[in-house]
Amino acid sequence: MAKKQINIGIADLNPGERKIIEVDGKSIGLFNVNGDYFAMHNRCPHMGGQLCAGPVTGTTLPTDKTEFIYGRHNELVRCGWHGWEFEIKSGICTVDPKMRAKVYKVTREESGLILHI
Amino acid sequence: MIDCDVHNDWVNADVLLPYMDETFGDFLRRGERAGGAQSFPHGHRPWLHPEGYRRADLNPAEGHSAGSDYAMMKEQLLDKYDLEYAILTGEEIIDLSTIANPYYASAMAKANNEYLIHEWLTLDKRLKGSLAVAPQDPEGAAAEIRRRGDHPDIVQVMLSSAARRPYGDPFYNPIWEAAAEVGLPVAMHLGGNGGVNAESSFAMPPTFYYEHHALLCQSAMSHVASLILHGVFEKWPTLQFVIIECGISWLPPVLWRLDSGWKALRKETPWLKRLPSEYARDHLRFTTQPLEQPPNSDHMLAMLEAMDGKNTLLFSSDYPHWDFDDPYEVAIPKDWHENVFDLNIRKVYKKLPQKS
Ligand code: FES
């Protein structure tokens, strides 16, 4: 299906911030991850919860012994319902790579951000 | 559609004060509180949810928790899913059983019930209430059931799944006697493990929150076995027990084991006239959330069929908690829906209008 390109204007999010916007009848989470913008459908592939309304966070990185290494700061969103973690950039669920949230490409133009939807 | 597990919260536990007498009002006002000013003085919770146990998408008004905001509950649950009734189960009050002092616990049960009746059940005709009782004070609990159990919007008696002894122990008989007398079902809601109560795991305390969460069905297993074997349902043949949020799929294997035991060793419990599973079928009902989600859903279906789920399950969402089940996603056969979302529930909660 041909993608629409929708100019959603200038966004003013700081790194780690997110807002939920309505675009083309869809609820979409717009995230600033370390200076880059990403967009994700605000609907969880698990049970349809408000995926983008949960905390933006990092997590513990996999380890080989009993230790806690925090990483991926602000790269993940935890679904607002059951708290499954999804990578904002790719939509991939941390514990199950086959479980993917829908993500949309975001590009920047002078006049604002363009959402490819 | 009727939802059997909706958590109404309070902004803080001081809402109980107007409903308490001088003795226990002072205890709450000036007494020690495990969680700091205005908190509910429950005495347990070694298992702390690393993200908090409420849904993160609800964003209640300032100073509120999700379940304490009625307007939000109305919009996000009652109206959204077009519920005909929501059975309120409270929040921290479920942990009443963790308070060592039974008289203080009963004073708070009573205050909670007045708070519920005056400040929640008046808000919306769809809201129905659970009468909290302190199981560590069976005589006090029985008195509370007789005092308030006849309120038209109070549809059940409620206590926690963790207790100091399994519920078949004759220690608790006054509670079942009173519930049967006023004709209310008794709900056992997950909660209260640790402290003076039993741990969630029989091997003693689990370490992690989700370990505890996965194993808390062990308390329910014990109560089910104990209630049946002590003959509670022979003594009170009209008594119905609703088991809330304790898991589902463990039930058939536990009943299979009890049935085998009974066939060989019935002589230990000569007051039982039937297989343990037959008492379960007639007297126990289970709320759906959180329905286990095995990779192959046929496995779950086999368990649900083994427990006659079509006639024993009652829908619940657990709003506003993190393991909320969306009613449109509950994985049960289509032709069970009318029973599970409606008819089974009215049969247990006889105060709800009945369909002919
Ligand atoms: S709906 Fe998102 S984790 Fe369940």
The CATH number of residue B154's host domain is 3.20.20.140
Domain of B147 in residue numbering reads as 2-348
Q: Total domain count for chain A?
A: 1
Q: What is the pLDDT of residue A2?
A: 62
Give the pLDDT band of residue B271 (cuts 50, 70, 90). Answer: very high
Whether B21 is covered by a domain: the verdict is yes
Q: What is the pLDDT of residue A1?
A: 56
Tell which wins on pLDDT, B340 or A24.
B340
Q: Total domain count for chain B?
A: 1
For residue B320, whether the previous peptide bond is cis, meaning omega lies within 30 degrees of 0, is yes
Tell which wins on pLDDT, B46 or B219.
B219
CA dist., res. A93 & res. A85, Å (int): 6
Average confidence (pLDDT) over B4-14: 93
Distance of CA A99 to the CA centre of its chain: 14
- Answer yes or no: is pLDDT of B40 > 90: no
- Give A47 to chain B, closest Cα distance, Å: 7
Buried b (16+ CB within 10 A) or exposed e, B129-145: bbbbbbbbbbebbbbbb
Q: What is the pLDDT of residue B292?
A: 93
CB B241 within 8 A of CB B283: yes
Q: What is the pLDDT of residue B38?
A: 83
Q: How far is the CA of B303 from the centre of ligand 1 (A)?
A: 24
Least confident of B5-9, B192-196, B254-258: B192-196
Q: Which 47-76 residues of chain B touch chain A by CB within 8 A?
A: 51, 55-59
Q: How far is the CA of B299 from the centre of ligand 1 (A)?
A: 22
Closest atom, ligand 1, to C-alpha of A79:
2
CB A28 within 8 A of CB A21: yes
**Pairwise CB contact (< 8 Å): B56 & A83:** yes
* Greatest mean pLDDT range, B24-38, B211-225, B317-331: B211-225
**One-letter amino acid identity for B193?**
N
Least confident of B23-27, B176-180, B184-188: B23-27
Nearest CA in chain B to A78: B56
Nearest by CB: A81 against B59, B324, B328: B324
Closest atom, ligand 1, to C-alpha of A82:
3
| CA-to-CA dists, residue B14 to A74, B34, B60, angstroms | 37, 14, 19
Token pair, residue B186, equals 């008794």
Which CATH number do you get for residue A22?
2.102.10.10
- Answer yes or no: is pLDDT of B184 > 70: yes
User: Percent of chain B having pLDDT more than 90?
Assistant: 79
Query: Which pLDDT tens digit goes with each residue over B50-92?
Result: 877 778 877 777 778 888 999 999 999 999 999 999 999 999 9
ipTM of the complex: 0.74
Whether B103 is covered by a domain: the verdict is yes
CA dist., res. A71 & res. A92, Å (int): 16
If you ran DSSP here, which 8-state letter would residue B94 be given?
G
Beta strands in chain B (DSSP E): 2-6, 85-88, 127-132, 154-160, 186-189, 241-244, 284-287, 313-314
Whether B285 is covered by a domain: the verdict is yes
Regarding beta strands A92-93 and A96-100, do their DSSP bridges make them parallel or antiparallel, or are they unpaired? antiparallel
pLDDT tens digits in sequence order for chain A, 117 residues long: 568 999 998 888 999 999 999 999 999 999 999 999 999 999 999 999 999 999 999 999 999 988 899 999 999 999 999 999 999 999 999 999 999 999 999 999 988 999 999
Q: What is the pLDDT of residue B45?
A: 73
Nearest by CB: A81 against B55, B59, B328: B55
Sign for the CA dihedral angle at B146, B148, B154, B160 comes to negative
Whether B62 is covered by a domain: the verdict is yes
**Pairwise CB contact (< 8 Å): A50 & B57:** yes
Average confidence (pLDDT) over B106-123: 98
Least confident of B17-31, B165-179, B217-231, B271-285: B17-31
Nearest CA in chain A to B53: A82
pTM: 0.89
Q: Which residues, including other chains, have CB under 8 Å from residue B250's CB and lie 6 or more apart?
A: B217, B220, B221
Q: What is the pLDDT of residue B97?
A: 96
Whether B355 is covered by a domain: the verdict is no
Whether B354 is covered by a domain: the verdict is no
Domain of A99 in residue numbering reads as 5-116
